[in-house]
Amino acid sequence: MVFADIESLLSQAKREKMKKTTAVKPVHERKSRSNQVSSSQDNWKGIPTRLNNIPHSREIRNYFYDDVLQATQRAVNDGRTRLKVEINIPELNPEMDVYRIGTLMELVRVIALSFADDGKRVKVCVQGSMGEGALAGMPLQLAGTRKILEFMDWGDYGAKGTFVEIGSIGANEVDEQDDMFILVAPQNAVGNCIIDDMKAMTDAAGTRPVILINPRLKDLPGSSGIMQTMGRDKRLEYAASFENCYFFRLLYYAGTQYPIMGALRMTYPNGYELYKRVDVPSGGEKYVILSTFTEKPSSDDINDAFLGKPRYVDYMDRILDYMDRILYHLLFHSTDSRVLLCTCRNREKKASGFWGFLSSVF
């Protein structure tokens, strides 16, 4: 009787799966129409090579500036108002000693001037000193950035002061004539939280676009009680309200920053594309696509793709796989059925191996 019930349930689940898969191809076999449209729009030539060569060449920098700009323009033109850009090449990775603030400033200038050329009034915002007394301070990454922006070359037609303004983060920085806002690397500091100022600013901005460039909004709890457990869910919810219009991250072996093993790229309105770096016989290198994802992949998804493991279209596939194994064991190896059942329940293991470090990143 038990076997009959299990077999009936399994057959029903398989029928539902067949109906679903006849209408929708597996993820790894699908080619999104939006991806094809994007390729024709971007004239994208693939990921540039030798990204560990520092300083980056002008060609590599311009490639990423253009890539980010096109994705951001598409998102704004589609009416998206809460956007973020996350790009983590070596010159834009503050965790590396080759971090170059000039590259970040150039990226911001390219985006701001492009929208200014379309007649939009853009306010570029850098957070100021936070806290009071002994807690006053600013993240090291942002020290001096406002001065750099003030003295940068903003074009021959005097965009700065007319179509481009430099400001700080807060509700009082939102003026009626502003059309959009670019926030440069907003981030929390130990003992100081930027989320409240950002929320007040976005509330004042209303439906006008707000674009975050390389935000770092994770909690950094301090001994003063700021950014502790209380209110964390609200802070995380607000940070998650910004959607990626561009994402690029290089992937390395665990605990190292060399050699580059692959890359993860996303440009609005497309999904996430996972690439593997491979050496070519001529001595060069290239990036080949391993998989695509509609949502940001987890570390386990990336592990499985690099290890060549099959992907599940959805949880139904996973359930069917477990039930197949359990049913087979009940029919032929019933004496050890409890052992197998426990094994199946514990099958969702933590990320390990040389991709394990990605669990903290993603």
Flag whether pLDDT at 144 surpasses 50. yes
Q: Average of pLDDT values for 317-333? A: 66
3 or 34, which is more confident: 3
Q: Average of pLDDT values for 151-160? A: 83
Q: At what angle do helices 2-23 and 315-332 cross, to 10 degrees?
A: 150
Q: Which CATH class is domain 30-248?
A: alpha beta
**Residue 94: band (very low, low, confident or very high) from pLDDT cuts 50, 70, 90:** confident
Report the predicted TM-score, pTM, of the whole model to 2 decimal places.
0.74
**Residue 173: band (very low, low, confident or very high) from pLDDT cuts 50, 70, 90:** very high
Q: What is the pLDDT of residue 31?
A: 39
Amino acid letter, 351: A
Q: Which structure tokens are listed for 341?
A: 């059942």
What is the spatial distance between Cα 75 and Cα 245, in angstroms, rounded to a whole number? 6
What is the spatial distance between Cα 347 and Cα 214, in angstroms, rounded to a whole number? 35
242 phi, psi to nearest 5 deg:
-90, 130
**Residue 40: band (very low, low, confident or very high) from pLDDT cuts 50, 70, 90:** very low
Cross-sheet strand order for the sheet of 122-125: 164-167, 122-125, 180-184, 210-213, 82-88, 243-252, 260-267, 272-279, 285-293
Mean per-residue pLDDT of the chain: 78
The Cβ-side half-sphere exposure at 174, using a 13 Å CA radius, reads 19
Q: Which structure tokens are listed for 145?
A: 């950035």
Task: Find the angle CA(240)-CA(245)-CA(246) to the nearest 5 degrees.
Answer: 105
The Cβ-side half-sphere exposure at 173, using a 13 Å CA radius, reads 24
Q: What is the pLDDT of residue 300?
A: 85
What is the spatial distance between Cα 166 and Cα 124, in angstroms, rounded to a whole number? 5
Listed by start position, the domains of the chain span 2-24+313-361, 30-248
What is the spatial distance between Cα 25 and Cα 27, in angstroms, rounded to a whole number? 6
Flag whether pLDDT at 318 surpasses 80. no
